[in-house]
Amino acid sequence: MKKNLKEAKIWKTKGKALEGQGKYKEAIKCYTRALKIDPKDGKTWKSKAKTLKIQGKYIEAIKCYSRALKIDPKDGKTWKEKGKSLKARGKYREAIKCYNKALELDPLDIQALKMKGNAMKARGRYKSAVICYTKVLKIDPKDGATWKLKGNAMKALGKYEEAIRCYHKALKLDPDNSYEWYIKRLDMAGTGDHRESFKSYRKALDPKHKYTNPWNNKGLALYYLLEYEDAMRCFDKALEIDTSDMEALHNKILTLEKLGRYEEIVRCYDEILEVKPDDTESWFNRGWTLTMLGRYEEMIDSLDMVLKINSKDVEVWFNKGWALDKLGRYEEAIDSYNKALKLKPDDIELLSNKGWSLNNLGRYKEAIKCFNKILDISPSFTNALNGKGYAFHKTGKYKKAIQYFDSALEIDPVFTYAWYMKGYSLYIMGRYEDAVKCYDRALEIDPDYMEVKKSKEEALFSMADHNKGDENNDTR
């Protein structure tokens, strides 16, 4: 038994080390091995949960936190962490129950009270949120962030006077926070006293004063209040006064992104580039904005401008390759990936994209070499396992392909494309029922995956036809 526990400790220590290196999938595997040996180790359940949460796998994290809490139900911190994961999944009621458990253990736990208040606010229960924030402020009246949260809840209840008092408290604690000041001023408009609320703005925004910053700050305040159209008007005012105000122009771009107005964003970058033609960041961002419009050729032109200035930017070569892939220009894409790989030869994302481009060209042996190199560096890189499986599938080695799809799915059970490709291999092998099961699993994850729906229909038709043939043989 001692020997087993020692082995569990080794796996746990290895998991911690991998987690520290950011190798979360490998860390989870180690924690899982440790827990198979010692399932009563609450600390390891918590470590596994934390690592799963970092990866955004909240459902699995919640299960791990639950196991830890069965071992130690008086661990307030774990109740809070479970609550955070539930909140991230939009399960506010269950999250609140967890925060209540933490507060039963420590009624003065400020963090639990704040978390409960935030979850209440997310459910639209603003009065309950205010109660939580008030309790926090009784414990720590100098918590400026909570005064702001309470103010926001009061504002949502339409209690503008109380909201302003809260904002005023927050401002006293942090008088240099200009955004808070502008938000406070905007909220004062809700009281009906518009003259008082915008008095400070009118002085600063008087046309006689050619000072753009107040328009910019007002725009930012509106931006943070999610009033994007009004924010746009403020940034435009700032730019009317000073067309070269880069800060206002960048803030306008941020607002246009929120509004999904990509054509206008491109025009903003064009204005910046007229003034600063060597601004590589603007050329790059212009390129990415063009992808939102499906204009990949123009994206490539923007990236080429960056590469003229700096031909050793790995990220730009990578993105150029990606855009060429989108256009089906796989040979050119591979050339871009090779340029990047000369600068960063062990980059698994670059190798993966190159491998898939080779797959798309039918150069499966070369693709497998790329994926093998990745798997030597990172054996659990699912895109490489899937890519290798795809290459074997295309060369008719279906059993071998399925082995790699299974390996990918063992690591990432919600990898829809791997379920689809496994199903396709099984279908070609005549294992229609198994193929349908794979397609069903893929559709559970992504119900709108049209290619899978069509493949499932074909498999069901083939299965029915096959069964009918068997019946005819039996009657002879």
Note the pLDDT of residue 212.
52
pLDDT band at 199 (very low <50, low <70, confident <90, very high): very low
* Mean pLDDT along residues 193-203: 41
Q: How far apart are CA 405 and CA 422, in angstroms?
A: 6
* Residue at 131: amino acid letter: I
Confidence check: pLDDT of 320 > 50: yes
The band of 205, judged by pLDDT with boundaries at 50, 70 and 90, is very low
* 199 to 94, 112, 186, 189, 363: CA distances (angstroms): 45, 39, 11, 11, 70
Q: What is the pLDDT of residue 166?
A: 85
CA 10 – CA 176 distance, rounded (Å): 50
| pLDDT score, position 1 | 46
Q: Give percent of the chain above pLDDT 90.
A: 65
Q: Which of 149-153, 275-279, 455-459, 465-469 has the lowest mean pLDDT?
A: 465-469
Supply 146's token pair.
């909570």
- Cα 89 to Cα 84, 95, 166, 177, 425: the distances in Å are 9, 9, 30, 32, 34
Supply the pLDDT for residue 468.
64
**Sign, CA torsion 462/463/468/473:** positive
Q: What is the mean pLDDT of residues 67-94?
A: 92
**Residue 321 structure tokens:** 């390759």
- 349-393 confidence digits (pLDDT tens): 999 999 999 999 999 999 999 999 999 999 999 999 999 999 999
What region, left, alpha or beta, does residue 430 occupy, with left being phi > 0 and alpha being psi -120 to 50 degrees? left
Q: Percent of the chain at pLDDT above 70? A: 88
DSSP label at 344?
A: S
| Residue 198: per-residue pLDDT | 39
Mean pLDDT across the stretch 454-476?
73
Read off the tokens for 53: 């949460």
* Residue 276 contacts residue 284 (beta carbons within 8 Å): no
Q: How far apart are CA 126 and CA 145, in angstroms?
A: 17
Q: What mean pLDDT comes out for the span 213-239?
A: 82
Mention every residue, 6+ apart, whose C-beta is less than 8 A from residue 42: 67, 68, 71, 72, 75
* Mean pLDDT, residues 111-132: 93
- Amino acid 167: pLDDT: 77
Rounded to whole angstroms, the Cα distance separating 402 from 396 reads 11
Residue 340's contacts (CB-CB under 8 Å, 6 or more residues apart) are 314, 317, 318, 321, 347, 350
The per-residue pLDDT for range 408-451, each reduced to its tens digit, is: 999 999 899 999 999 999 999 999 999 999 999 999 999 999 99
Of 273, 261, 185, the residue nearest 222 (C-alpha): 185
Residue 213's pLDDT band, with cuts at 50, 70 and 90, is low
Q: How far apart are CA 408 and CA 16, in angstroms?
A: 23
d(CA 141, CA 160): 20
Given phi > 0 = left and psi -120 to 50 = alpha, else beta, which region is 388? alpha
Rounded CA separation 385/136 (Å) = 50
Q: Residue 227 and residue 250: Cα distance in Å, rounded?
A: 17
What is the b/e burial string over 403-420, where b = at least 16 CB atoms within 10 angstroms of the residue's CB? ebbebbbebbeebbbbbb
Left if phi > 0, otherwise alpha if psi is -120 to 50, otherwise beta: which for 91?
beta
Mean of pLDDT values over 447-466: 89
Mean pLDDT of the chain: 87
Q: Which DSSP category does 191 fall into?
A: G
What pLDDT does residue 177 have? Answer: 55
pLDDT of residue 218: 77
Ordered alpha helix ranges (H), 174-245 = 178-188, 194-197, 199-204, 213-224, 228-241
